Amino acid sequence: MELTQKEKDFLNDFSKEEQLCIDKYERYEKEANDEGLKSLFATLRQNEMAHKQTIDRIMAGENVHFAPAPSAVSQSFSCLPSSCKADERASDAFLCQDALSTEKHVATTYNTGIFEFAQPSLRDVLGHIQKEEQNHGEQLYQYLALNQMYQ
């Protein structure tokens, strides 16, 4: 697959963004106090790893004519309200709000980059990843709202 320099640059940016998400979710899973939030961070990290693998395959020149697993797009989030103490809840709220901010940024990066790709199959794959990023944000928002941490 022949990629333009601009496409390669965007893919490099996407790969770096995905790695940042992986690193954050791995760290945040360890730092979170609430078990439900730990589980959410673990799930999101796994999804981000799949995104990075897809991006890296495209960068390696593989023809990727499929969208990543649709389960991550339709996956809903459910957990019980946090039973942590106030200071632990405040710490978890910070982690979750930072993760939500990161997801907003990553989804915006994909939105901009998608327009620079000539091949419809790549735009489809990247659009699917973007939709999954939006879903990650929705799940983080749901956790924050459930725990009255979003204002």
Q: What is the mean pLDDT of the chain?
A: 91
- Nearest Cα to 139, choosing from 19, 16, 45, 15? 45
Q: Does 66 have pLDDT greater than 80?
A: no
3-state secondary structure (DSSP) of residue 109: helix
pLDDT band (50, 70, 90) for residue 65: low
Cα pseudo-dihedral 136, 40, 77, 67, rounded to 10: 40
pLDDT band (50, 70, 90) for residue 68: very low
Residues 6 or more apart whose CB falls under 8 angstroms from that of 149 comprise 89, 92, 93, 96, 97, 143
* Beta-sheet strands, E only, within the chain: none
Q: Does 128 have pLDDT greater than 70?
A: yes
Average pLDDT on 53-63 reads: 93
Query: What pLDDT, on the 0 to 100 scale, is given for residue 122?
Result: 94
Tell me the pLDDT tens digit for each residue of 27-44.
999 999 999 999 999 999
CB 39: neighbour CB atoms within 10 A? 14
Q: Does 110 have pLDDT greater than 90?
A: yes
- Nearest Cα to 49, choosing from 15, 22, 82? 22
Residues 6 or more apart whose CB falls under 8 angstroms from that of 144 comprise 93, 96, 97, 100, 150
The tokens describing 48, both together, are: 């981000």
Tell me the pLDDT tens digit for each residue of 69-107.
544 445 566 778 898 999 999 999 999 999 999 999 999
Share of the chain residues as helix, strand and coil, in percent rounded to the nearest 5? 75, 0, 25
DSSP string, 117-131: ---HHHHHHHHHHHH
Query: What pLDDT, on the 0 to 100 scale, is given for residue 130?
Result: 96
Tell me the pLDDT tens digit for each residue of 139-151.
999 999 999 998 7
**Fold type of domain 5-60+86-146:** Ferritin (1.20.1260)
CA end-to-end distance (rounded Å), the chain? 46
Query: What pLDDT, on the 0 to 100 scale, is given for residue 70?
Result: 47
